[in-house]
Chains A and B, each alone.
Chain A
Amino acid sequence: MNLRAEHLSKRFGAFAAVDDVSFEIESGSLVALLGPSGSGKSTILRMLAGLEAPDSGSVWFGAEEATHLHPRARAIGFVFQHYALFRHLTVEQNVAFGLDVRRVPKATAARRARELLRLVGLSGLEGRYPAQLSGGERQRVALARALAPEPRLLLLDEPFAAVDAKVREELRQWLRRLHDEVGVTSIFVTHDQDEAFSISDRVLVVHRGRLEQCGTPAEILDEPATEFVARFVGEVNVFPSVVQGGAAVSGGLRAQLGPEHPPGPARLVVRSYDLKFWREEPGVATVERVVPLGDRVRVHAVVDGAGPIVAQFPRRSSLLRGIERGCRIQVEVTTARTYPPEADNP
């Protein structure tokens, strides 16, 4: 089912939680709402669910307007951050709940519940109570419960935030595989960039109530629309710079851009893997720290007249030869982006 949001806005008192957000989501896709805490992403999700009412704007499920439809009439599935399992019901009763309230015959409901529990890998736990399960197990029960009534839309509010880090990674991949198997349009909210990128078809980046960018993970990574998106995703170096003659210059740092860039002040943003370092005298920077990180090496340096810079290299890169603390290096920028300076961000 196609989902469309048009000019959604919501204020809490004087605080604009969601500010004129519009997007469209293709039927059957898995989409991430990504943003820092307080960016409004949860509020957007709750408005899609009907758990909050927008001050203005509309929500469309296919061709039907759902803006003021009561949550129970929307045929959606919602997975809460802290599971919200019914503590007095068994796992099976929890999963069957959505069917019980629709007066589905007990036998059918029980069968479907057990099917779903098999799907989420929890067969055998039907008789347990939520208090007896681990965090990861509870979340899977919550998912099975949301899927039982065959919703046309699945919404997940930071589904893995309350789970251990180790379990989180497994659950993510498992969610993607589940989605591929079940095929229902799904939207999940997260503040974790890795999570958003590793499993979603598209990512909506939200900041201060506004939609900063909407695109595939590759698009977000390679063509960030705003400085916020560029900074939020991936490791990034930012410098105030001046563009002249098709290049951005910040102290000893020089980034070649195209001739279409107008001259003047700009914010220069360089990804840590879009840099080349090599040992050279006199060079333009001094190495501060070399940090081995498994398959990569991170080099921290200070560029003359520009400030601290961080670059990433594969462990066996030849570029790293001879680079050690205190030595001088030359810096080359392979790819960079510029953004206009803002009033509070010159």
Chain B
Amino acid sequence: MQRVEPLGLSSLPTETTPLPPVSHSHTWASVGRAALIGAVLLYLAAVLVGPMAALLLETRSLGFGQALAAATSPAALGALWTSLLLVAIAVAANAVVGTCAAIAIVRHRFVGRGLVSALCDLPLAVSPVMIGLAFLLLVGEAGALAPILAAAGVKVVFSFPGLVIATLFVTLPYTVREVAYVLEEIGTSEEEAATTLGASPLQTFWRVTLPNIRVALGYGLLMTIARTLGEFGAVLVLGGSISGQTQTATTFIHDAIEERQLEGAYGMALVLAATSVALLLGLEWAKARRQAAHGKATA
């Protein structure tokens, strides 16, 4: 056996200089911590909290009563109704399409799978006004699909169907991504087990897959609702914000600002802000459920 040569560490001075007392480094660390927390909180206040508070205060100065009255005027209610209708359609469509697309992307192998996955992600990268323009070019008077639509008697531009298309475009990614992520995470073994036990594809989906993706799907649909209510650029371009027909909650605010109808603008803005907070609470709750489920899965 070879002898290991000593490193000569024993020649270190046995008398070492005393280390600085621990409390000093702790103090510096505490100062650093406090500074960091302070900076972040200040930043969040300036960018997030302040503006929200400002909205509230400004509406108060205009008078909550007037704002509420303006927000419940026939035009405002019509705009809200349009938005809600879009929400219902977007949720229904994306619940189905999102789930099917996610299953196809994660569980199947087919030519063009990567492309479909990328396309499902794409709406997140595209500016809303461009979406409006793109559809305008496609289904507008001079558009490629114009003859077909004219023959079918369907008007898309400056009418409700146009809003639907724009909404479906921008909300596509949310459910697909959420469900795809969960499907990836939990793997195929439960579904395989169901198959060996004799379950048909529908039974497997209904009893095994669906319960497992429920929370993720819910989260994705909440995001879909938020996005639908918040969509502005595309519906403005494609819909034209015609009061009573294609005016959504957001374009109502925009028009109200243009017409110097500040009570209406702030009233509706407050309504949307309140809805956002409710949605946010829903999102946080779904996130917590998802964390818990993840913990169960890895148990």
Contacts and interface: CB of A to CB of B under 8 A. Distances in A.
The answer to whether A and B touch directly, with their CB atoms under 8 angstroms apart, is yes
A84 B203 contact: no
B299 A84 contact: no
State the 4 A-B residue pairs at the shortest beta-carbon distance, nearest first. A98-B197, A84-B189, A88-B211, A78-B196
B127 interface: no
Contacts of A50: 196
Nearest to B191: A84
Contacts of B199: 72, 97, 101
A157 B296 CA distance: 23
Contacts of A77: 196-197
B18 interface: no
Contacts of B198: 72-73, 75, 98, 101-102, 149
Classify chain B's interface size. 10 to 19
A115 B118 CA distance: 50
Interface of A: 49-51, 70-78, 80, 82, 84-89, 97-98, 100-102, 131, 145-146, 149
Contacts of A51: 192, 195-196
Interface residues of chain A: helix, strand, loop or mixed (majority) = loop
A145 B197 contact: yes
A73 B200 CA distance: 10
B78 to A, nearest CB: 42
Contacts, number: 70
A51 B191 CA distance: 11
A146 B197 CA distance: 7
B196 A82 contact: no
B58 interface: no
Contact of A49 (B196, B207, B296, B299): B196
B56 interface: no
Given A72-B200, A87-B297, A131-B296, A78 B193 contact: yes
A88 B193 CA distance: 14
B117 interface: no
B194 interface: yes
B212 interface: yes
B242 to A, nearest CB: 47
B184 interface: no
B197 A149 contact: yes
Contacts of B55: none
Given A49-B196, A51-B196, 15 more contacts: A51-B192, A71-B196, A72-B195, A72-B196, A72-B198, A74-B196, A75-B198, A77-B197, A78-B193, A82-B189, A86-B194, A87-B190, A87-B212, A98-B197, A149-B197
Interface string B201-215: 001000110011000
11 contacts: A51-B196, A72-B196, A76-B196, A82-B189, A87-B190, A88-B212, A98-B197, A145-B193, A146-B196, A146-B197, A149-B198
Contacts of B212: 87-88
A80 B192 contact: yes
Contacts of A98: 197-198
A70 B194 CA distance: 12
Contact of A101 (B192, B203, B296, B297): B203
Nearest to A81: B189
